[in-house]
């Protein structure tokens, strides 16, 4: 019994180390998953690795290479801890399951199965057929939380979308006169920039661009493994000014303008389109919805097709409402300032026509709350019970 407890504790400790390693992949691995791997024998760490960049060697290969760099060529009897089931198919790299078998490892503890229905379980089956003991770690929830963007993208084609808003305690995002800088405190704003840096793309509506002329960059120094997020503007009528900060910096930071197909017609639109492209902006046509705006589910799918698996949605009650109505928001992160702004005409966090009857309200689950300076931060997942979201996670 004592040995079993010690073994379970050891498995837990090394899987948590593998999770820490996995996080080092940052955004450079997208749309692939974050994966970490650790090799251990008789309580001794033999090698460790993580998936470092898209198209590069996977975590298992890096861990084996690391062990060899330490002078350990014989891995017989070792345990491999890996946060995701070793792949069984050839992509940009050879199948990891074959590498693990060839390495001589005797046991594999995995964090979660591959969510891709086309390959799920096949890597584990390959290992078992080769006589390797295969066991789940018990930390599946943590491994899933680490890779929610990958899971959603690989199972639905859509990115994982987080709706971020700063608002007063009475639900206002600005005063009645339109003043919004700054509702939240300095620590909340720094946290919001961290969120930007950890996202594949930052999405905002054209209304925010016209009123605030934002830069939408992640201020502060990004860790080496985090690439600047793509800036995406939902702009159905192609109104973005050529003089805007986004257009002027498009050659430095990737900038995509998603616009309605009909907005690209005509000589005037042709001139605007040419000017934007000359400035380095990528203009992407998206189908319109019945109300003349953009079909946000189509926009989400287009981002997914272009390899974006995580999006931070910022700014604009109209865009927030449209995204919720389209069922594409997976998570909300609200920064609540301890202030009351009042004003019947002051904008709220979510516009549009509302949820309809109370029973149809968007409800939240897995709710977490913390303090950042004077602000309260609420982080939760959107529950689409009774609706039809595009996310199963």
DSSP conformation class of 342: -
Round to whole Å and give the CA distance between 301 and 206.
19
In terms of Cα–Cα distance, which of 232, 234, 236 is closest to 290? 236
Residue reference for tokens 């203009």: 283
What the block records as the tokens of 355 is 């949820």
Round to whole Å and give the CA distance between 387 and 297.
14
In terms of Cα–Cα distance, which of 175, 238, 252 is closest to 210? 238
60 included as an active-site residue? yes
Helix (H) or strand (E) holding 69: helix 59-69
| Cβ-defined contacts of 338-342 (< 8 Å, 24+) | 338/169, 338/374, 338/375, 338/376, 339/168, 339/169, 339/183, 340/168, 340/169, 340/170, 341/168, 341/170, 341/172, 341/174, 341/175, 341/176, 341/183, 342/170, 342/172, 342/176
Instruction: Report whether 112 contacts 84 (CB < 8 A).
Output: yes
Catalytic residue among 10, 48, 52, 60: 60
What the block records as the tokens of 331 is 């998570």
Distance from CA of residue 9 to its chain's centroid?
30
Provide the annotated active-site residues. Answer: 60
């Amino acid at each position: 019994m004592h040995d079993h407890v010690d073994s379970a504790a050891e498995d837990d400790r090394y899987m948590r180390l593998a999770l820490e390693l996995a996080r080092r992949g940052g955004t450079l691995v997208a749309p692939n998953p974050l994966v970490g791997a650790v090799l251990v024998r008789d309580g001794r760490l033999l090698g460790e690795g993580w998936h470092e960049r898209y198209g590069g060697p996977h975590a298992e290969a890096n861990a084996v290479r690391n062990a060899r760099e330490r002078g350990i060529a014989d891995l017989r009897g070792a345990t491999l801890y890996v946060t995701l089931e070793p792949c069984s198919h050839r992509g940009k790299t050879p199948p990891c399951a074959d590498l693990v078998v060839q390495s001589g490892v005797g046991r594999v503890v995995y964090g979660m199965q591959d969510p891709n229905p086309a390959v799920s379980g096949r890597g584990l089956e390959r290992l078992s057929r080769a006589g390797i003991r295969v066991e789940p770690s018990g930390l599946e929830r943590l491994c899933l939380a680490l890779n929610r963007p990958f899971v959603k993208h690989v199972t639905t084609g859509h990115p994982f979308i987080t709706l971020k808003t700063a608002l007063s305690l009475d639900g206002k995002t600005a005063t009645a006169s339109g003043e919004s800088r700054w509702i939240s405190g300095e620590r909340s704003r720094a946290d919001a920039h961290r969120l930007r840096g950890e996202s594949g793309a930052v999405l905002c509506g054209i209304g925010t661009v016209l009123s605030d002329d934002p830069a939408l960059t992640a201020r502060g120094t990004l860790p080496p493994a985090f690439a600047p997020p793509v800036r995406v503007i939902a702009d159905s009528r192609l109104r973005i000014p050529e003089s805007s900060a986004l257009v002027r910096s498009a050659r430095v930071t990737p900038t995509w303008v998603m616009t309605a197909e009909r907005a690209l017609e005509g000589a005037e639109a042709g001139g605007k389109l040419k000017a934007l492209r000359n400035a380095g902006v990528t203009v992407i046509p998206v189908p319109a919805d019945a109300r003349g705006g953009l079909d946000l589910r189509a926009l989400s799918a287009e981002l997914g097709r272009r390899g974006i698996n995580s999006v931070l949605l910022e700014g604009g009650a109209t865009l927030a409402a449209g995204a919720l109505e389209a069922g594409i928001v997976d998570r909300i992160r609200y920064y609540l300032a301890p202030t009351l702004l009042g004003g019947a005409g002051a904008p709220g966090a979510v516009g549009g026509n509302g949820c309809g009857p109370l029973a149809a309200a968007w409800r939240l689950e897995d709710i977490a709350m913390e303090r950042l300076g004077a602000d309260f931060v609420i982080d939760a997942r959107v529950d689409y019970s009774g609706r039809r979201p595009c996310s199963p996670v």
